[in-house]
Amino acid sequence: MDDDEAIRNAISIAVRYGGIDGDHHKAWVIDQMVRALSGDGYDAIVVDAKSGEDGPDTYDWDEGTPP
């Protein structure tokens, strides 16, 4: 998938599901958009997002629940 297609896919996810109520659904939308935009780099992005001042699991990464 090229960059333009990944961007279109992420925007499509945001438009289609971003308005659904519930934090667990919003977390799913964010996770799906990151997956669409990052491709093979997804796991590294999640590791980086979870890392912080208290080590590799300072923060949570919630994959959410599909609507």
pTM: 0.91
Question: Cα 29 to the chain's mean position, in Å?
Answer: 6
For the chain, the maximum distance between any two Cα atoms, rounded to a whole number of angstroms, is: 37
Q: What is the pLDDT of residues 29-49, one digit of tens each?
A: 999 999 999 999 999 999 999
CA pair distance 61, 10, nearest whole angstrom: 18
Domain ranges for the chain:
3-50
Secondary structure tally for the chain: helices H, strands E: 3, 0
Mean pLDDT of 11-17: 98
* Amino acid identity at 46: V
**Residue 55 pLDDT greater than 90, yes or no:** yes
Please list the residues that pair with 52 across neighbouring strands. Answer: 55
